[in-house]
Amino acid sequence: MLYLYIQPNASRTEIAGLHNGSLKIKVAAPPSDHQANDKLLEFLGKSFKVGRKQVALKCGEHARRKIVEIIESNVLPETIGID
């Protein structure tokens, strides 16, 4: 499980370090119509080298704090470029 803090409407989608014990990710999409969630899950799929269906939003659909599960990835969270 990944504990995330999301900043929508960013200029680009990227990992921005840690925020109160959660991984902070800036997302280049607005929060309306689930655009930021979709962009986030796509970004995480690419980062962890898994398909989109292997990235599941478990908690926080309408919040900045989210819990995401990555299924069957061989990539460790420590290796995805936390600054």
- pLDDT tens for 26-76 read 999 999 999 999 999 999 999 999 998 999 999 999 999 999 999 988 887
Residue 5 has pLDDT above 70, yes or no: yes
Domain ranges of the chain: 10-74
What's the whole-model pTM score? 0.90
CA 6 – CA 19 distance, rounded (Å): 10
Q: 10-74 architecture in CATH?
A: 2-Layer Sandwich (3.30)
- Over residues 72-83, the pLDDT tens digits come to 888 877 777 654
Give me the residue label for tokens 């280049």.
28
pLDDT recorded at residue 83 = 45
Cα–Cα distance, 30 to 27 (Å, whole number): 8
Tell me what pLDDT residue 82 has: 56
* pLDDT score, position 80: 77
